[in-house]
Amino acid sequence: MNKLPKNILISYHRKKNGDPTGVLVAIPVDDNGAFSIGYSQCRKTDKFSKDMGLKIAVGRAEFDTSFHSLDNIPHNLRKMLPTFIKRCEKYYRSKT
């Protein structure tokens, strides 16, 4: 990916062998600590591309700042959400 947004948080979902299969990203929405989350997950038959995954996830985060896109998030990424959201809240709160 050419240029990532400033203050982005990234968390990859990985297989047992360490290969990434999906990504969660958070980007700041305003200076008050608000953030938006995006995700990307490849199919089991595909090879995950970090550049393409980040591009898709950042696009979703920029497009949907109300978390509506998280309604359809794949199960393995959904399991990561509570920990990721706590991390985001702590990180973006410290930036205000």
Judge whether 55 lies within some domain: yes
Q: Which domain holds residue 83?
A: 9-94
Using CA atoms, how far apart are residues 37 and 44, in angstroms rounded to an integer? 23
Asked whether residue 1 carries a pLDDT value surpassing 60, the answer given is no
Asked whether residue 67 carries a pLDDT value surpassing 90, the answer given is no
- Residue 96 has a pLDDT of 61
Hey, how many other C-beta atoms are within 10 angstroms of the C-beta on 10? 15
Q: Which 8-state DSSP code applies to residue 5?
A: P
Judge whether 57 lies within some domain: yes
The residue type found at 69 is S
- Residue 91 has a pLDDT of 93
Q: What is the CATH number of the domain that holds 52?
A: 3.30.160
- Residue 10 has a pLDDT of 96
Using CA atoms, how far apart are residues 26 and 43, in angstroms rounded to an integer? 22
Judge whether 2 lies within some domain: no
Number of domains in the chain: 1
Q: Please state the rounded mean pLDDT for residues 68-75.
A: 80
Report residue 7: phi and psi, to 5°: 60, 40
Judge whether 4 lies within some domain: no
Judge whether 16 lies within some domain: yes
* 0.95 surpassed by pTM: no
